């Protein structure tokens, strides 16, 4: 994985096909979404793709998101019938927590297996999500000892690699990469602010102006404190505010440099916890 991917219809069709092929091999899909953008980081096609396969919606990066909003989103998804796990992926209890959540989703199936005398069969999992949502981090965290086991994929000679967790899961070595919804401008802006899409697609100063517009409604104090501005700084327009911050940072009139600093501050949590998606559809 690594670099963010630019999506074209051909890429999308291929990613879709790869996921669909592997779907029959697993018991459950972990659909990862970024807790700061639980709607914007979801793929519109995912319901159609996963269909009736058991699913756990995993909200990653919860340590960066606003806890009140995360709770509201969790309740919203649960109301729609989805099982939800909320994570700081790097937390010490991740493996136990996520395993229990998966077992809860599969409770009926596991009970039926037990009635037939099948015990301790591993639960096979596919991770799926848009770039940068935390798929590799979760995988690495779950699989502490890198024990890869391979098995023949039915019907094809290609081997499938499974990674074992200490908690009885087997995770498909290659996560499903889903594409975000670039078409909607508002969603594109939020993907850019959280770093989910390549920086080069967006003008940094536009992104910084979006950031300021968001904090104008959300939390002016976070900006005022971080950049040592006057209490009435938000009387300025977003553009003048960006210039004021540029000057405060000592960058003279290089507002692009200031914009980069602000985006880094936002993404690393230096402007506090925040959730950009706040309308529940």
Q: Is 210 annotated as a binding residue?
A: no
Query: Are the beta carbons of 258 and 249 closer than 8 angstroms?
Result: yes
Please select the residue that binds ligand GTP; options are 45, 88, 173, 205, rule is CB under 6 A: 88
Which residue in this structure is represented by tokens 């501050």? 265
From residue 124 to residue 143, the character string flagging contacts with ligand GTP as x (rule: CB under 6 A) and all else as - is: -----x-xxxxxxx------
Q: Is 136 annotated as a binding residue?
A: yes
84 binds ligand GTP (CB under 6 A): no
Binders of ligand GTP among 162-191, rule CB under 6 A? 177
Cα–Cα distances (Å) from 190 to 11, 77, 194, 248, in that order, read 22, 20, 6, 26
Q: Name the residue among 193, 189, 208 with its Cα closest to residue 254.
A: 208
Least distance in angstroms from the C-beta of 45 to ligand GTP: 17
What lies within 8 Å, CB to CB, of 186 at 6+ separation is 40
Instruction: Say how far apart CA 38 and CA 75 lie, in whole Å.
Output: 12
> Judged by CB, which is closer to ligand GTP: 132, or 246?
132
Q: Is 134 annotated as a binding residue?
A: yes
Least distance in angstroms from the C-beta of 129 to ligand GTP: 6
For the chain, state the CA radius of gyration. Answer: 21
Count Cβ neighbours within 10 Å for each residue of 254-266 and write b for 16 or more, e otherwise.
Answer: ebeebbbbbbebb
> Judged by CB, which is closer to ligand GTP: 60, or 246?
60
Q: Name the residue among 232, 233, 216, 198 with its Cα closest to residue 271.
A: 216
275 binds ligand GTP (CB under 6 A): no
Instruction: Say how far apart CA 58 and CA 48 lie, in whole Å.
Output: 18
> Judged by CB, which is closer to ligand GTP: 64, or 110?
64
From residue 43 to residue 72, the character string flagging contacts with ligand GTP as x (rule: CB under 6 A) and all else as - is: -----------------xx-xx--------
> With CB under 6 A as the contact rule, which of the stretches 10-18, 88-96, 110-118, 245-253 interacts with ligand GTP?
88-96
> Judged by CB, which is closer to ligand GTP: 137, or 167?
137
Q: Is 132 annotated as a binding residue?
A: yes
Instruction: Say how far apart CA 204 and CA 263 lie, in whole Å.
Output: 8
The residues pairing with 148 across neighbouring beta strands, listed in sequence order, are: 163
4 binds ligand GTP (CB under 6 A): yes
Q: Which residues are annotated as a binding site?
A: 132-137, 176
Q: Which residues are annotated as a binding site for GTP?
A: 132-137, 176
Residues within the interface to ligand GTP (CB under 6 A)? 1-2, 4, 60-61, 63-64, 87-90, 129, 131-137, 177
């Amino acid at each position: 994985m690594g670099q963010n991917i630019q999506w074209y219809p051909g890429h999308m069709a291929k990613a879709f096909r790869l996921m669909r092929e592997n779907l029959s091999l697993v018991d459950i899909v972990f659909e990862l979404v970024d807790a700061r953008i639980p709607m914007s980081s979801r793929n519109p096609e995912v319901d159609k793709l996963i269909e009736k396969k058991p699913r756990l919606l995993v909200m990653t990066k919860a340590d960066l998101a606003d806890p009140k909003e995360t709770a509201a989103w969790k309740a919203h998804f649960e109301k729609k019938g989805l099982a939800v796990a909320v994570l700081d992926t790097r937390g010490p209890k991740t493996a136990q927590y996520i395993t229990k959540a998966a077992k809860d989703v599969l409770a009926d199936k596991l009970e039926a297996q037990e009635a037939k005398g099948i015990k301790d069969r591993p639960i096979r999992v596919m991770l799926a999500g848009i770039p940068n949502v935390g798929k590799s981090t979760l995988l690495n965290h779950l699989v502490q000892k890198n024990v890869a086991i391979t098995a023949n994929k039915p019907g094809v000679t290609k081997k499938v690699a499974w990674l074992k967790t200490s908690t009885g899961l087997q995770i498909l070595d290659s996560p499903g990469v889903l594409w975000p919804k670039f078409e909607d401008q508002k969603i594109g802006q939020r993907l850019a602010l959280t770093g989910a899409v390549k920086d080069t697609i967006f003008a940094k100063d536009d992104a910084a102006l979006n950031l300021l517009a968001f904090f104008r409604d959300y939390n002016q104090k976070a900006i005022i404190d971080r950049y040592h501005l006057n209490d009435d700084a938000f009387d300025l327009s977003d553009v003048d505010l960006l210039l004021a911050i540029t000057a405060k940072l000592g960058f003279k009139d290089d507002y692009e440099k200031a914009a980069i600093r602000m985006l880094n501050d936002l993404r690393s949590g230096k402007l506090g916890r925040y959730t950009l998606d706040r309308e529940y559809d």
